[in-house]
A and B are shown apart, each in its own frame.
Chain A
């Protein structure tokens, strides 16, 4: 292992960490501004020009508040909970391809921390251990509301992981690879459609090949990130604050922040798996006429534009759709989404055999 390789990966990891934190920070601001817009009020507008310094003010508030630890027999687990939630939220970004190659001073770097050939499974692995932070924190709070929130969170996340994994299998059947990098590369270019003599060039994004899988994955992503309409673990009208009722100061901040990091990462995964990742129309033209670096930089910016759209979509849904009831949530997960995902796999299999792919 040469040192240049280690430096390259270290820089990528640090930059991705910084960008993730920055985006999560300003997602909280964007959420409040959008909530203000949707509810026809002003939203945060006092700290800084247009309220832009509001996240910093929130951060200072979080850090300086009293760090209250309830009378619980498991203080270690109580402190471990938010840390685990944050760690697992940040771990997924390791396998996400942020762009193609970038050549700087004669050294070629790939904009991805780790291109492993089990990247999709790695994402599911991290998602599946992501529930521990909430569970352990909620249980160690020694509070009935927190415990109910934790139990809800764990059963909800297990249930929706099943449908999420099954919907992804249909995509993997089309892509033929588990590597995120290859999935993004496979969506490069256009498919020619011939419809009643009219010719269309359509981006070869997987959302057009697997629309049902995309819909199931999107719904499950909402459930996995505990966002409305599936935010039953922290349902404030029934459970006070859900799993983080007993938390205060930056421990609460970690739980809330982890949700925004999760939102960013899941938006990135949706953008890469279903919406072509860093591919954009005219990428080859830019590559041939202006240069590889420019094509890569524009690709990364395009990827972030797609990610921001999905973060906006999360917030749009949150302030539009009311919360589900718990039995409705379970029915949707097990009786509607899971059979649909299996049906999608069967249909995909038949189509792949029929077209000889």
Chain B
């Protein structure tokens, strides 16, 4: 086996195990930490595909920002196994149905995709910052700007929701 294949299979195994443990872990902190390891191994896959920028942005955004916020919230709420309530049966069934439906949709999407089986060395400047920036600001300029406006409006919305209603407090 080639060294890239060994790395690929070990990363995949880690990602798979930690993803399952994220769901089945009783302690929410352990769940969050195994999700973190899962993110790291997926980032490793990006690196194998020579997508360096995607790799590091994945680490910064998911591992560095989102999971830190998750963990902080979990620690502040101090959730434990004892305090976890049992969900009612209808919620459990609904969750199962949604998960299966989502799984079917994803599988259909994968089936329709063109499978590229050649796993040759990926070289050149496909995934580096320069080519990505050039493509984003030329070919995909309008979607890129629309996404930034969307994110900005979401941010403004959150600030608006967080503001306390001062008129209600006066009454």
Interface residues of A (CB under 8 A from B): 74, 77, 116-118, 121-122, 124-125, 127-129, 131-132, 135-136, 139, 147, 150-151, 154-155, 157-158, 161, 178
Contact = CB atoms under 8 A, between A and B. Distances in A.
Interface of A is mostly: helix
B64 A125 contact: yes
B68 A117 contact: no
Contact of A121 (B33, B36, B57, B68): B57
B71 interface: yes
16 contacts: A117-B130, A118-B52, A118-B55, A118-B128, A121-B56, A121-B60, A125-B60, A125-B63, A128-B59, A128-B65, A128-B68, A132-B36, A132-B68, A135-B75, A136-B33, A154-B71
Lowest 10 A-B CB distances belong to which pairs?
A: A128-B64, A125-B59, A121-B56, A125-B60, A154-B72, A118-B52, A139-B75, A125-B56, A118-B56, A128-B60
Contacts, number: 67
B29 A158 contact: no
A129 B53 contact: no
Nearest to B78: A147
A169 to B, nearest CB: 13
Given A116-B52, A117-B128, A118-B56, A151 B68 contact: no
A133 B36 CA distance: 13
Contacts of B53: 118, 121
Interface in B14-63: 29, 33, 36, 52-53, 55-57, 59-60, 63
B66 to A, nearest CB: 10
Contacts of B72: 135, 151, 154-155
A129 B33 contact: no
A125 B63 CA distance: 8
A77 B30 CA distance: 9
Given A117-B129, A135-B71, A74 B29 contact: yes
B128 A135 contact: no
Given A118-B55, A132-B36, A135-B71, 16 more contacts: A117-B130, A118-B56, A118-B128, A125-B56, A125-B64, A127-B64, A128-B64, A129-B59, A129-B63, A131-B68, A135-B75, A136-B71, A150-B75, A154-B72, A158-B68, A158-B69
A80 to B, nearest CB: 9
A124 B60 contact: yes
Interface range, B side: 20 to 34
A154 B29 contact: no
Given A74-B29, A125-B56, A151 B129 contact: no
Contacts of A178: 129
Contacts of A77: 29, 33
Contacts of A147: 75
A128 B63 contact: yes
Interface string B75-116: 110000000000000000000000000000000000000000
A193 to B, nearest CB: 31
| Residue among B33, B63, B64, B130 with most chain A CB within 10 A | B64
Contacts of B55: 118
Contacts of B52: 116-118
Contacts of A122: 56
Contacts of A131: 68
B160 to A, nearest CB: 17
